[in-house]
Every structure is written in C-alpha cells, then in structure tokens.
Amino acid sequence: MSRTLVQPVGQKRLTNVAVVRLRKHGQRFEIACFPNKVLSWRTRVEKDLDEVLQSHTVYSNVSKGVLAKSKDLLKAFATDDQTAICLEILDKGELQVSGKEREAQLSSQFHEIATIVMDKTINPETRRPYTITMIERLMHDVHFAVDPNLTSKEQALKVIKKLTEHFPIKRAPLRVRFTAPKSKFASLTEKLEEWNANVISKDESGSQPSVVCEIEPSILRSCEERLKDVQGRVEVLSVSAHAEGGSSVDQYENAEESQSVPAVETDPVARIGEAMQKQSISSEPENPGQGQGKQQRRCKECDVLVEDKLYREHCKSGWHKHNYTRHKNGLPPLSQEECFVEMELADSKRDLKDYDF
C-alpha cells in the first residue's frame, strides 16, 4: 500500500481571498491576500504586511493550493526569499477582484465623486449647496458612469461641466484675499472690475492694503500672473464660498423688484423638477392643435400622452418606474413634480436612518 498522500484534483483551497497575479518569464505567480487590503497597501494606508497577506507563500494557483516551484522563483526573481517575492507581486501584480467587490468599489467612488461635486457647486439663486442625495440623482439623470482609471477629482470636474448644461447649478466661487502695496492699490481695484469680482470687504490701513472678494475658480491662475505686475499676492481663504445664515428682508425685496415670480419657483427642488420636466416629456399639451400631426401613445401608468419617439425614453425614467410601482399597488398615478418630491422625501427619510441621535 502506497503511503503517498494524494490530494483530490478538484479540491479548491483558499477561495475566500483576494488574489494578486503576476506573469514573469512565461510563468504565473500568485499570492493570497485578505479582501479589501491590497488597495490599502498600495495607497500606503496599511503598512503591516501581515495584515495584507494570508501567508508569505508564492503560489502558481491559489484556488487549487498549488505552490510555485523553487527553480521557477529563482529563474524569474533571482531569489527564493518568499517575503521579498510577495512584496514585488503585491506592488506590480494585477488584483483579481470579484463582482461584488468591484461593485462596492465603484459605488464608493461614485459617492466620493458626488461629495466633491456637492462641495464645489451651489444653486445660483440661493447660493447654497445641493444635498448629496440630489447630486447623486442628477448624476444618474445625465447617465454618469464611474471610470476606475481616473481620480475622483478629475471625474467630479467633468460631472460639474455636464450638470451645468442641463440643470440650475454652477461652480462655487473662490473666496480670496488680494494684497498689494499702497501705491499700486488703485491698479488692483481696476483689475477687480475686469475680473467681475464680488468684493466682500476692504482693509486700506497700513502699508499693505488688502481686499477680500469672490472670483470664478477658472481665472485664479490669470489673477496670480496679473498681480505680479502690481507686486501683489493672492491668498485663498475658501475653495468654495457658500451663503451662510438666513436670507435677509432686503434680499427678498430686491428679488421682488427685479422679477415677479411665484415663491415656489425659488425652491431648489422645484427648480430642478422644472428643468427635468423640460428635458423629459411633458403631460398633455395645453393647445389641442399642437398635438395634431404627431403620433402619440398613452402611458396608462402615468396617465399622459407621449410621442412615439420619446416613449422608450419615458419608460426608462424614474417618473414612470415610480408610477409603475404605484400602479401595481393599486394607487393613482402622480405628476412628474409630485413624483420627484415624493422620491426626494423618501430619500431624506432613508438618510436619517444612517444617523444615531
């Protein structure tokens, strides 16, 4: 009777791990790591190697538990030190992630991009930032997809540019302090008018007068170059200037004098709902003659008439999906504005569950 221990060929070992694979000299080498630890090691967040590696062993196939041969290690790495080889594979190898882990990474990066967009943008009318829930919904509406090969900041700037084309949103201004010698301060004031800067305060006492103002982020570099002519300097006080406190009575009076619009339209939710309604389809036309000549179909879930070429897009919208759920539950349909407000309230209640009071 043979005493050789024969392992089953179909048996799989070390399956609940993150595998890092490296091909070198025609051979495949793998190491077994703990899930969600490889990226922390590569970003220098995790510095303990034992917290990253399942074992200081090099495999040719981790899932089957097949160890790499020593002669292959010497040929490829010129050493048989397992720890040194593991470090090289960990830094240069390709990380094999599962579908759920990849989905979690993309979801985390999507939320990170939305947070950057929220910090860098404001509502043009109220000068206040939108909520994170509203930003994420707008990103879904413009069909934004996360690119794992780009940084979150690069993608956030692209998202802001795309959102400004469809919704009432813009970049938050920079709050800066310009300082110049007293003899050159008049030239600095003229340049502020050219830059359309919003002056907050001035301090003309002392030999170095200064002015605090808000400017567009895109002109910061040109401002620094132009200030060299007047021997001045720029100090950034805030990268995103948001309105603080409540609105004063004078602001409401000025708004009523400049334009007579209902108070409901100044609400950010109503503004975005109106913009989304313009972008998408609307309900039945006010003038019955306008609908003649265009083939339309009635959506029974939303109880509206939709043009044939827009019907497929309408069925993909959040408005239709929400009314479809209500239709299955025996509830009457909602208009697009009512649906948007109801979905926003549901998201707000869901966000409150994440906080412990």
Q: What is the pLDDT of residues 212-228, one digit of tens each?
A: 888 888 777 878 777 77
Judged against a pLDDT cut of 90, whether residue 29 lies above it is answered with yes
| Domain spans, the chain | 18-96, 100-171, 174-239, 303-354
Does residue 166 carry a pLDDT above 50?
yes
Question: Residues 270, 276, 278, 284: is their CA dihedral positive or negative?
Answer: negative
Report the CATH number of the 100-171 domain. 1.10.10.900
Residue 249 has a pLDDT of 35
Question: CA–CA separation, 343 vs 130, rounded Å?
Answer: 16
Report pLDDT digits (tens) over 280-294: 444 444 444 444 556
pLDDT band at 13 (very low <50, low <70, confident <90, very high): low
CA distances from 101 to 9, 17, 43, 55, 286 (A): 28, 11, 18, 21, 50
For domain 18-96, give the CATH number. 3.30.1250.10
CATH number of 174-239: 3.30.70.240
Q: What is the CA angle 340-343-347, rounded to 5?
A: 135
Angle between helices 99-120 and 132-141 (to 10 degrees): 110
